[in-house]
Amino acid sequence: MLNTLSRSRFRSSFKLDDKDLVYIDRVGLEKIELHARDFITNKLAPAKPRNDGKQTPFKGHPIFKAQHATATCCRSCFKKWYKIPKGRELSPKEIDRALNVVMGWVMKQLESRSQE
């Protein structure tokens, strides 16, 4: 999925910056993954998320960038890219799938930054 998303000009425009890397280094990947699971569970997984389409800011947390990069930012993007319909709660398996894609993107970003 990450390869497909990387072909989108919009999705591929998101990158972790130095501030994000410092934050990840400070809190650790386990905490970042907990944040990602929390954001996905509370802001993406409900059948009718509050402020759907506007619930994920573009900055303020590395996971927000990851969600935009992986189309897990709102139910419309999730439907378009993952073919999961709006209007029903995401299953635990679908939440895990979104989490795996988000964390895969974060790891890929960390790897590419470490090679610079």
116 falls in which pLDDT band (50, 70, 90)?
low
What's the pLDDT score for residue 75?
94
What is the tens place of the pLDDT at every residue in 74-91?
Answer: 999 999 999 999 999 999
**Average pLDDT of span 60-85:** 95
Written as six digits, the tokens of 22 are: 């410092």
For the chain, how far is it from start to end, CA to CA, in angstroms?
A: 24
Cα separation, 3 vs 97, in Å, equals 15
Domain residues of the chain, as ranges?
2-114
SS3 annotation, 18-81: HHHHHHHHHHCHHHHHHHHHHHHHHHHCCCCCCCCCCCCCCCCCHHHHHHHHCCCCCHHHHHHH
pLDDT of residue 112: 83
Q: CB neighbours (10 Å) of residue 43?
A: 19
Asked if residue 72 has pLDDT above 90, the reply is: yes
pLDDT band at 98 (very low <50, low <70, confident <90, very high): very high
State yes or no: pLDDT of 50 exceeds 90. Answer: no
* Residues 22-34, mean pLDDT to the nearest whole number: 96
